[in-house]
Amino acid sequence: MSDSVRKGVDEKFCESCGQVIKKEAEICVKCGVRQKQASTPQGAGSSWGTTFLLCWILGFLGVHRFYTGHTGIGIAQLLTFGGCGIWWFIDWIMIIMGSFKDAQGRALVK
């Protein structure tokens, strides 16, 4: 195997052209294609179970929004008691359906 096709521990292959790039790279330097990010990068992502429980128990206070990094919406939910329960209920359904994302747009980690 030649050095041009070996990758280190902190590297990956471009999904489009196969060039060795850093794992953190969002765009390949050779072909310019945006890389898909892993759904569960190490040390990132909010837990689905924790988010579900926080929403169910303290959702009217927006605690689940603070946990997932949505601080602005969390403050709004805190001040309006979860939008009089409407925001809380919608968030709870979104969490159950798997469409709730954290502040960086990542899916919750199951």
3-state secondary structure 7-55: CCCCEEECCCCCCEEECCCCECCCCCCECCCCCCCCCCCCEHHHHHHHH
In the prediction, which pLDDT does 95 show?
93
User: How far is the CA of 86 from the CAs of 52, 97, 98, in angstroms?
Assistant: 16, 17, 18
In the prediction, which pLDDT does 44 show?
57
Distance, in Å, from the CA atom of 20 to the CA atom of 85, rounded to the nearest integer, reads 49
In the prediction, which pLDDT does 53 show?
94
Mean pLDDT, 10 residues at a time, over the chain (110 residues)? Answer: 64 85 85 73 73 92 93 93 91 93 88
Beta pairing class for 20-22 and 11-13:
antiparallel
pTM of the model: 0.59
Collect contacts of 49-54 with beta carbons under 8 A, ≥24 apart. 49/110, 51/95, 51/100, 51/108, 52/92, 52/95, 52/96
